[in-house]
A and B are shown apart, each in its own frame.
Chain A
Amino acid sequence: MRILESKKGIEMVDQWVELLMFTLLIISFALSVSIGSLVFNYIVVFIFGLMSGRFLYYRRKTFPFYLIVFGGIVGYLIGVRYGSWKMTLFLFIVGTTISWYLHSKRIIR
C-alpha cells in the first residue's frame, strides 16, 4: 500500500483507466506483431473477443472497462501483419457477441 501514499500512487488512482488502456494497447500490439500466420491471427483475435465478451458482460454498467477493451483491440489492429484489419475486427466483434450471449443466457458462468 506504500505506493498509494506517494504522488505516483495518487496519479495511478486518478488515471487508472488511461494507464490500463495504454498498457493493454502496448501488450496487444506486441502480441499481434509477434503472430506469424493468418490462421493464428484470426484464432487469436476470436479468443480475444471471447475473453473481452466475458470481461465486459460482468462489468457492463461501468464505462471505463469499454475503453480498456477498446485500447486492446486498437493496439491489436495496429500490429496486424497477416490478413485484413476489417476481417480481424469482424472476428473480434463476433467473438465478443457470442461470449456476451452465452453469459447472458447463463450457459457459461
Chain B
Amino acid sequence: MTMVNTWRSYWFSFKKYSSLEKKEITAIIIGSAVLALIIGLDDGSPEFVMGYWLRNLFNCFLIVLLALIVKQIAQRATSTAVGFKPEYKPWLYGLGIGIILALASKGKLWFLAPGGIVVYHLAGHRLGTFRYGLNYWPLGIIGLMGPVSSLILAIFFKVMLGVFPQNALILLALKFNLYFAGFSMLPIPPLDGTHLFFASRMVYAFAFGTIIALCFALFYLPIIWALPIGLLVGIGAVVLNAFVIEK
C-alpha cells in the first residue's frame, strides 16, 4: 500500500512539475533543428542533390529530437525523484559555435551543445530540514542522467544495428548519440558535465573516463567488450585524478 502511494505521489509530482512548458518545447525544437543541420550538413553523397539532402536533414531532425526527448525524460524523472523542478535552458552560444564549426568544416566537425538543465527548489515538497535547499550532489546525479540516457539509446541503436546491418540511418543515430553523450560530459557551464564536476571530482573523473571510453568502444567494438573497457578506463581515470591531478 505504501509502495503504491509512493508511486502515485511520484507520478503526481512528475506530471505537475516535470511537464514541458511552451518555451522549453520551442527551445527543444530549435535545438533539434540546429543539431540536425550540424550532423546533416554533409550527407555523404559525392554530389549535392537537394531532395536527398532535405530527406537526410529530416531524418537527422528526428534522430536529434528523439535523443533530446529521451534525455529530458531521464533528467526530469530524476529531478522529480530528488525533489526539484527541472527546466531546459538552451545555450545559444553553443548552437552558434556548432553551426559555425559545421559550416567551416563542411559538416565534418560536430560540436553538439544545445543546452542544459537547471533546477528549482520545491519548498512545499521538502519536509524537514535535512539538506534543505539546492545542493550539489542531487544536481550532479541529474546532470549525469543526461549522458547516461544518451548512452542507453546508443546501446539500443547498436543492438538494432546488429539486426539491420548496413542501415545508414541507424548508424547515424548511433554515432549521434555517442557524440552527444561525450559532449554532454564536458565541464562547460550549461552542459550536464558541469553539475557532476562541481558535485564530486572523483565521480566526475570516473564518469568522464567511462563515458568517453564507451563512446569510442561502442562504435568500434561489440557491446560485450565495450562495457568492461569503459569501466576499466573509468577506474584508470579515477587513479589518474587521485595521484596526478589532485595530488
Chain A residues near B172 (CB-CB < 8 A): none
Q: Are A34 and B104 in contact (CB under 8 A)?
A: yes
Report the minimum CB–CB distance from A49 to chain B (whole Å).
Answer: 10
Interface of B, helix, strand, loop or mixed by DSSP: helix
Q: Are A35 and B104 in contact (CB under 8 A)?
A: yes
Q: Does A67 contact B (CB under 8 A)?
A: no
Chain B residues near A47 (CB-CB < 8 A): 96, 99-100
Q: Does A48 contact B (CB under 8 A)?
A: yes
Report the minimum CB–CB distance from A109 to chain B (whole Å).
Answer: 9
Interface of A, helix, strand, loop or mixed by DSSP: helix
Q: Are B103 and A35 in contact (CB under 8 A)?
A: yes
Report the minimum CB–CB distance from B103 to chain A (whole Å).
Answer: 5
Q: Does B106 contact A (CB under 8 A)?
A: yes
Q: Considering the chains assembled together, what is the distance between the CA atoms of A10 and B230 in angstroms? A: 40
Given pairs A35-B104, A51-B96, 12 additional interface contacts (CB within 8 A): A31-B100, A31-B104, A34-B104, A35-B103, A36-B106, A40-B103, A44-B100, A47-B96, A47-B100, A48-B96, A51-B93, A55-B93
Q: Does A43 contact B (CB under 8 A)?
A: yes
Q: Does B92 contact A (CB under 8 A)?
A: yes
Q: Are B103 and A50 in contact (CB under 8 A)?
A: no
Q: Are B92 and A44 in contact (CB under 8 A)?
A: no
* B94-108 residues at the A interface, CB under 8 angstroms: 96-97, 99-100, 103-106
The chain B residues found within 8 Å of chain A, CB to CB, are: 92-93, 96-97, 99-100, 103-106
- State which size class the interface on A falls in: 10 to 19
A40 interface neighbour in B93, B96, B97, B104, Cβ under 8 Å? B104
Chain B residues near A34 (CB-CB < 8 A): 104-105
Q: Which residue of A lies closest to B109 (CB)?
A: A34
Contact with B along A26-44 (1 / 0, CB 8 A): 0000010011100010011
Q: Are A44 and B93 in contact (CB under 8 A)?
A: no
Report the minimum CB–CB distance from A36 to chain B (whole Å).
Answer: 7
Could you list 13 examples of A-B contacts with CB < 8 Å? A34-B104, A35-B104, A36-B106, A40-B104, A43-B103, A44-B103, A47-B96, A47-B99, A48-B96, A48-B100, A51-B93, A54-B93, A108-B92
